Amino acid sequence: MINFAIVGCGHIANKHAEAISNAEGANLIAVCDTIPEKMEPFVEKYNVEPYTDLKELLTREDLDVINICTPSGHHTGIAVQAANAKKHIVVEKPIALTLEDADTIISACKENNVKLSVVHPNRFRPVMMELKKIMDDDKLGKLSHANATVRWNRNQEYYDQAPWRGTKALDGGVLMNQAIHNLDLLLWVMGDAEEVFSMSATRLRDIEAEDVSTGVVRFKNGALGVIEAATTIYPKNLEETLSVFGETGSIKIGGRTANFIEHLNIEDINDESSNDIIEGVKADPFGKPGHQWIIEDMAKAIVEDREPVVSGEDGRKALSLVLALYESAETNTPVKIN
Please answer whether residues 260 and 245 qualify as being in contact, where contact means their C-beta atoms are separated by less than 8 angstroms.
no
Residues 37-47: tens digit of each pLDDT: 999 999 999 99
Write down all domains in the chain, each with its CATH number in brackets.
Answer: 2-114 (3.40.50.720), 123-288+319-336 (3.30.360.10)
Is residue 294 pLDDT above 80, yes or no?
yes
Mean pLDDT of 307-330: 98
Please answer whether residues 233 and 221 qualify as being in contact, where contact means their C-beta atoms are separated by less than 8 angstroms.
no
Mean pLDDT of 252-279: 97
Residues 38-96: tens digit of each pLDDT: 999 999 999 999 999 999 999 999 999 999 999 999 999 999 999 999 999 999 999 99
Q: What is the dihedral of CA 281, 285, 289, 293, to 10 degrees?
A: 10
Please answer whether residues 272 and 256 qualify as being in contact, where contact means their C-beta atoms are separated by less than 8 angstroms.
no
Is residue 338 pLDDT above 90, yes or no?
no
Is residue 23 pLDDT above 80, yes or no?
yes
- DSSP per-residue string spanning 46-104: H--EEES-HHHHHT-TT--EEEE-S-GGGHHHHHHHHHHTT-EEEEESSS-SSHHHHHH
pLDDT for 195 equals 98
Residue 24 confidence class, pLDDT cut points 50, 70, 90: very high
CA distance 7 to 78: 9
Mean pLDDT of 125-146: 98
Residue 237 confidence class, pLDDT cut points 50, 70, 90: very high
- DSSP per-residue string spanning 225-283: EEEEEESB-SSS--EEEEEEEETTEEEEEETTTT-EEEEEEETTB-HHHHHHHHHHHHH
**Percent over 70 (pLDDT), the chain:** 100
Please answer whether residues 214 and 133 qualify as being in contact, where contact means their C-beta atoms are separated by less than 8 angstroms.
no
Mean pLDDT of 117-144: 98
Q: Is 39 exposed, middle or buried (0-12, 13-18, 19+ CB in 10 A)?
A: buried
Q: Is 133 exposed, middle or buried (0-12, 13-18, 19+ CB in 10 A)?
A: exposed
Q: What is the mean pLDDT of the chain?
A: 98
CA distance 190 to 244: 9
Mean pLDDT of 182-211: 98
